[in-house]
Structure 1
Amino acid sequence: MENRKVRWGVIGTAEIATKVVAGMHDAENADVVAVASRSLDRAQAWADEYDVPQAFGSYDELLADESVDAVYIPVPTALRNEWIKKAARAGKHVYAEKPLADGIEEAIDVCKENGVQFMDGTMWLHSNRTQDIEQRIANGDIGDVRRVTSAFTFKAPNKEWYEGGNGRTDKSREPMGCFGDQGWYPISATMWSFGYELPERVQMTFVSKNSIDTIVACGGTLWFSDGRMATFDAGCELAHRSQVETVGDAGLIRIDDLVGGQGRTGNFAAYGERFTGSTRYILGDADGKDTEQQVEPCDHVVKLVERFSNIILTGEIDDQWPKRSLACHRVMSALFESAESNGAVVSL
């Protein structure tokens, strides 16, 4: 049993799947055994390119394969809930891409009813650096968290991409547009900083849309109890930033390469390829003195896959992960409601 590896199947061949499958190959307790596409030819070509032994011409065929323990689901957001539920009913543990879609509560309930683990694909949460910072916050090293500022922005590569040529900029594929895809990171960082406590109210204070009515840039405010608050922005209209600053009454923690872990190097390829990083963060004291903290470098994807696979191998479902996902989704949904209501304040 101790040498057993979790056997993974991949439902869909989205761009992000190439990075995830590379992480599965590198994980010590996982094997990628199958991939499915809506076209057998496409699935076979993808399997050949990324060293996956079995290809299926439909998602249902993969789910019927009893040799598959867990599935990774990177299909478009609008289609994802259906396949999460089907996978859970087939007895497969589910690692699904984010953001989550309306109705995810039912899909997660189906996972729970069928005794399978659900986890979303927020990779940075699993890094050595994140674990180190979580312990510092828990130990009170920065005191009580009072403010969080965060961002994930980059510049659209061209007009076609900006005007719906990418899934992030086409609301038929990503209903919340760039807010859904990029906004998930600052919102997840905010919720993580506040221990997944829900804010009392939120407001989207700025929204920019492209010609097909899809959000391409945005920013907003979250108000928590006792005067605590957070601000964020996201989208494809500004220079590249991937950052969070978590501020307490006794100090602060700052990360300037949250999502990719590649530092301020301009290595944008880290988002789509194997990458080992996330080696540092800033710890500041109440007087304004900053010190750079070093941590062991890691690949976020490998860490996520190994953690998920270990849950399966131990047979102990971890409820914290769906709870974290649902907390982020509720806040995202409230902010999107605000965006669609001309910036109205939305209570949670």
Structure 2
Amino acid sequence: MTFPQALPSPRTPDSRDAPPLRWAIMGPGWIAEQFVASLQAHTTQVVAAVGSRSLDRAQAFASRHDIATAVGSYDELVALDDVDVVYVATPHPSHLEHAVMSMEAGKHVLVEKPIAISADQARQIAAVAARTGQFCAEALWTLFLPKWDVLRQVLDAGGLGELRSVHTVYGEHFPDGHRIFDPALAGGPLLDLGTYPLAYVTSLLGPARSVAAAGVPDVRGVNGQLGATMLHDGGTMSVVATTLHGWPRNEITIIGSEGVATVEALHNSPGPITITSADRGVTLTYDEPHGDQVGGLHFQAAEAARRIAAGERETPIRLLSASIISLEASDEIRRQVGISFAEAGLDEHG
């Protein structure tokens, strides 16, 4: 294991080269707006339809993005013949229902993160994907960015030596009235923001074997902030935190026996990675155009299109098993902190 002399180039293909598929947008909210704008700017994918429980809302979204078909129910959307893949962007508690609905109708799915509100629900989605033979993946877009491929290559080559620990935090500020404060929508920072840190640490270190978590409620009725220290196989450790109370630096620090990698703020968006040798004698930096915070959403769609066109049913960048492992850690954190979706009238078991 040797610290690298130079950083590799990303292997991420040009998104415009991905075979064009016909996409349907399920749920015309903020993230769907960003997703469609990114596809239309950076890919040859066709956004063919949009569906909402409100026909007026679907038609307004279609008008803004020049989408040919708008429908006023999700049943109508998944029944459309001119759709290959559905991007599920409805609220978190609906992901199980809508992913299953789409796959049962013969459509592939890319499900906005978190893929479900619990590991049990994610297992149900994976089981339906296996039974129907449809492509299914969690749209955790960060892992599809070129910078993550650079980091993956360094780690796979042993450039940091033996991994020791991963430290990461993600927080934001939200205005009063934002859906993240709604308990009925599985609000709080864990699923919206904490999904990123949990995905990072479990992707890098594997499942959490033990968890010690604590949290503090917000006056608006959801958890406001929490943190967890987790132990993983091989004597490795992770420390994660997430908050609704403001913007920390939002970095990832990966510590190995030969060096340290820092994925700089905002770690979930395009931006720089710095790798420093253990003796601090060598520092290497990879950077990429920052654009706006969600400017790289097209990479996940292009990856899905390539896999679907090749007849594959998952992407190794975010396997369904990896999504389940992240949610297992999330479930244990919720248990220890005392976050119960059942109290908000949600069935986390589907």
Using structure 2 for the length normalisation, give the TM-score: 0.85
**CA contact under 8 A between 2:144 and 2:300: conserved in structure 1?**
yes
Residue of structure 2 equivalent to 1:75? 90
- Find the counterpart in structure 1 of residue 304 from structure 2: 308
Q: Please report how far the alpha carbon of residue 319 of structure 1 lies from its aligned counterpart in structure 2 after TM superposition.
A: 5.8
| 8 Å Cα contact 1:221/1:229 also seen in 2 | yes
The alpha carbon displacement at 1:96 in A equals: 0.9
Please list, as runs of the form range in 1=range in 2, the aligned pairs for 1:147-166 lying within 5 A after superposition.
147-157=165-175, 161=176, 165-166=177-178
Give the 3-state SS of the residue equivalent to 1:335 in structure 2: helix
* 1:204 aligned partner: 213
> What residue in structure 2 maps to residue 188 of structure 1?
199
Cα distance between partner residues in 2 of 1:209 and 1:3: 44
**1:162-203: CA deviation from partner (whole Å, max 9, x where unpaired):** xxx22222221125x211111111111111222xx2121112
Q: 1:31-51, CA deviations, whole angstroms, 9 ceiling, x for partnerless residues?
A: 100000111111101110122
Whether contact under 8 Å (1:217, 1:236) holds in the other structure is yes
CA-to-aligned-CA distance 1:12-69 (integer Å, 9 cap, x gap): 1121111111122134341100000111111101110122111001111010001100
Deviations 1:264-298 (A, max 9, x none): xxxxxxxxxxxxx42x2110111124524124548
Is 1:285 aligned to residue 285 of structure 2? no
Q: Can you give the 5+ residue segments of structure 1 that lack an aligned partner in the other structure?
A: 262-276, 343-348
Q: Is the 8 A contact 1:153 1:240 kept in 2?
A: yes
- Distance in 2 separating the partners of 1:28 and 1:46: 19
SS for the counterpart of 2:183 is coil
Superposed displacement of residue 331, structure 1: 1.1
Structure 1 residue 7 displacement after superposition = 0.3
- The one-letter amino acid of 2:308's match is I
2:325 is aligned to: 327
Give me the whole-angstrom Cα distance separating, in 1, the residues matched to 2:339 and 2:73. 39
Does the 8 Å contact 1:27/1:306 carry over to 2?
A: no
Residue type of the partner of 1:131?
A: D
Measure the CA separation in 2 of the matches of 1:172 and 1:327.
Answer: 24
Aligned pairs for 1:3-42 within 5 A: 5-42=20-57
CA RMSD of aligned residues (A): 2.0
Identify if the C-alpha distance between structure 1 residues 69 and 337 changes in structure 2 by more than 3 Å, giving closer, same or farther.
Answer: same
Q: Which string of whole-angstrom CA distances, capped at 9 and with x for unpartnered residues, describes residues 206-225 of structure 1?
A: x1212343112111111113
Residue identity in the other structure for 1:90? A
The amino acid of 2:238's aligned partner reads A
Structure 2: tracts of 5 or more residues without a match: 1-16, 341-350
Cα separation, 2, equivalents of 1:58 and 1:244: 40
Matching residue of 2:186:
174
Aligned residues: 315
> How far apart, in 1, do the equivalents of 2:315 and 2:262 lie?
28
SS of aligned partner of 1:237: coil
1:101 aligns to 2:93 (yes or no) = no
Alignment partners' CA distance in 1, 2:147 and 2:241: 23
Cα deviations by residue, 1:99-158 (Å, 9 ceiling, x for unpaired): 22232211221012111111112111011110010010000000011111001012334x
AA aligned to 1:166 is: H
Contact 1:244 1:258 in 2 (8 A): no
Question: How far did residue 3 of structure 1 move?
Answer: 8.9
Task: Report % sequence identity.
Answer: 24
- Name 2:221's counterpart in structure 1: 213
Query: In 1, Cα distance between the equivalents of 2:28 and 2:125?
Result: 22
1:240 positional shift: 3.6
1:227: how far off? 2.6
TM-score for both structures, normalised by structure 1: 0.85
Query: 1:183 corresponds to which letter in structure 2?
Result: G
Structure 2 residue 133 is the aligned partner of structure 1 residue 121: no
The amino acid that maps onto 2:173 is: K
Cα 1:107–1:233 change in 2 (3 A) is same
1:251 corresponds to which of 241, 259, 282: 259
In the alignment, is the contact (CA less than 8 A) between 1:70 and 1:92 conserved in 2?
Answer: yes
